[in-house]
Amino acid sequence: MPDAQDAAIAADTHEAPAEPIPTTEAASAERSKLQQHLGRVDVLMFLLCTLIGLDTIGSVASYGGQAITWLLALAVLFYLPSALIISELGAAFPAEGGPYVWTRLAFGHFAGALNNILYWVSNPVWLGGTLSITAVATIEGFFRDGRPLGDLGFYAFTLAFIWVGIASAVLSVRLGKYVTSAGAVLRIVLLAFFTLSVVIYGIRHGLHGITAGDLKPSWAVFLALTPVLLFNFVGFDVPSSAAEEMRDPQRDVPFAIIRSGAAAVAGYIVPVVGILVVLPTSSVTGLSGFLDAMRAAFTVYGGSIAADGTVHLTGAGSVLAKLVALGFILALLTSAVPWLMGSDRALAVSGYDGAAPRSLGVISKRFGTPVRVNVLSGLIATGVCVLAHELSGSAAKYFGAVLALALSTTLLSYIGILPAALVLRRKYPDVVRPFRVPGGTRVLTACVVATVGLLALGAITLIYPGFATDWLTGADVNDALPEGWSGQRTAYTLSQLLPLGAFLLMGAGFYAAGRRTRRHSD
């Protein structure tokens, strides 16, 4: 990411917008409870914790060397444009609940309500599904020699995991910022130690290596991998949900976005390369690829790898592996915290802005956080965890379906958020923009078209795996179904469409419930 953005930030970043953001009587009462404790470094660490996720690294690496090619390509085609767009929106409209407010200002209350539901609900689904099951796999792989926890152990662990995350989101921003900062530092330490272990492993045992042929891109892998990479590459907007809790959002948001971007890209490339040089691509799975690579690399501290690929850790290797496994679980947990802090605030803002029930738009006087929405997120995460565990016959099937749902709802929500920058330039041209996407409206338009096009493609391929692979590659579209869903195209599609439909109906219901609040707007 370039550093020249400082020149694009106007000297006076505190001038009021030419067109104030409309408020309601309820908004005035609730915003007075917000606590302003986020400084520039806090926002940067918040973003690093948000952007560097570890739960999908195995899924990315399972596509082999092409994962590196497409990761770099989408960093240019999506990551950079979205960073520029969010930098402009966050600096120009520094309002609490940022992503909701931008969409609502651009497209109206109803569109804001629908989009905000998708933006919010994807996070408790992600926490109760993907993050929880990955944490369970870590416990079983590193502490139980692969033996399942059993129903009692599963629920004891996952419910504790979910509600510790919710409790962290409830904390006042004065304390909550230390959770996200710790999560950012933990990621850096884990990735650095994993990289060091891979280097030592390579010196002692040699590496599989990645040839030029492995990097050659193909349409089939692009279509399959794009949704996961896009999911990894969204999140620049999350701190803006707490914009009115920042000391200087108009300067700090662009500063943090530009500086966190390169670190986040490296945070994905380094572990993916590490996995591919330690493990054969054929043995890398979406659920445990990163964990398997860690286990193999840690044999340099004590242990061995049998001829059949089974890893046996002993001595320091076993101890270090368990410590790193605990760190990995904490990293998974802290992945959820900033997203919950951001999306829960966005939903609460929509509650006191008239796009959701007023009862959800309540900020706690004690914590300065939306405790009611936090609890609701916890209940949904718990429900997702219980239903997925009880209804799914295998961990891999569960992992695939829930991951796809979390990804699709997230990607669809950004189709509403990113175009807002273009619409708001037209609707409010006189609003002070301390940061502007360089190159004028044409460049901004190109950024929006590129990002929205990729998001739409990613969402379609999640709902209908294998989309376009038959006419682009000649492959059978049914081969693209997630593991465990072979021959169940209709069932899988319904597993995605029915929840999406239910979420949109919920959004419409929330909009209707906010009618009385909207009547009392300024």
Are 194 and 279 a contacting pair, CB within 8 Å? Answer: no
pLDDT band at 15, cuts 50/70/90?
A: very low
pLDDT band at 43, cuts 50/70/90?
A: very high
Indicate whether 391 belongs to any domain: yes
Residue 484: predicted pLDDT: 74
Indicate whether 6 belongs to any domain: no
Q: Report the CATH number that the domain containing residue 157 is assigned in CATH.
A: 1.20.1740.10
Neighbours of 309 (CB within 10 A): 11
Instruction: Give 517-520 contacts, CB < 8 A, sequence gap 24+.
Output: 517/24, 517/26, 517/351, 517/352, 517/353, 517/354, 517/358, 517/361, 518/24, 518/109, 518/353, 518/354, 518/355, 519/354, 520/24, 520/25, 520/26
Q: Report the distance separating Cα 373 and Cα 404, nearest Å.
A: 24
The whole-angstrom distance between residue 233's C-alpha and the CA centroid of its chain comes to: 8
Token reading at 367: 């914590």
Strands (E) located in 372-422: none
Instruction: Average the pLDDT over 421-450 and give the result.
Output: 94
Kindly tell me if the per-residue pLDDT of 7 is higher than 80: no
Alpha helices in 211-354 (DSSP H): 212-215, 219-232, 249-278, 289-297, 315-353
- Answer with the residue of higher pLDDT: 380 or 274: 380
Of 195-204, 229-238, 367-376, 418-427, which gets the smallest average pLDDT?
A: 195-204
Indicate whether 22 belongs to any domain: no
Kindly tell me if the per-residue pLDDT of 8 is higher than 70: no
Strands (E) located in 79-200: none
Rounded to the nearest integer, the mean pLDDT of the chain is 85
Kindly tell me if the per-residue pLDDT of 411 is higher than 60: yes
Q: Smallest Cα–Cα separation from 491: which of 404, 389, 409, 384?
A: 404
Indicate whether 424 belongs to any domain: yes
Indicate whether 273 belongs to any domain: yes
Q: Smallest Cα–Cα separation from 64: which of 248, 273, 246?
A: 273
Instruction: Average the pLDDT over 428-448 and give the result.
Output: 93
Instruction: Average the pLDDT over 11-18 and give the result.
Output: 36
Question: SS3 for 332?
Answer: helix
Q: Report the distance separating Cα 298 and Cα 292, nearest Å.
A: 10
pTM of the model: 0.87
Question: SS3 for 107?
Answer: helix
Indicate whether 500 belongs to any domain: yes
Indicate whether 111 belongs to any domain: yes
Are 477 and 467 a contacting pair, CB within 8 Å? Answer: yes
pLDDT band at 288, cuts 50/70/90?
A: low
Q: Which helix (H) or strand (E) holds 452?
A: helix 440-463
Residue type for 381, please?
A: A
Q: Report the distance separating Cα 35 and Cα 369, nearest Å.
A: 9
Residue 89: predicted pLDDT: 95
Indicate whether 32 belongs to any domain: no
Residue type for 445, please?
A: T
Are 190 and 331 a contacting pair, CB within 8 Å? Answer: yes
The whole-angstrom distance between residue 442's C-alpha and the CA centroid of its chain comes to: 29
Residue pointed to by tokens 């995991």: 161
Tell me how many degrees the CA angle 7-12-13 measures, rounded to the nearest 5: 85
Longest dimension (CA), the chain: 72
pLDDT band at 133, cuts 50/70/90?
A: confident
Instruction: Average the pLDDT over 261-283 and give the result.
Output: 78
**In the chain, how many domains are there?**
1
Domain range for residue 408? 38-512
Residue 479: predicted pLDDT: 76
Q: What is the pLDDT of residues 64-120, one digit of tens each?
A: 889 899 999 999 999 999 999 999 999 999 999 999 999 999 999 999 999 999 999
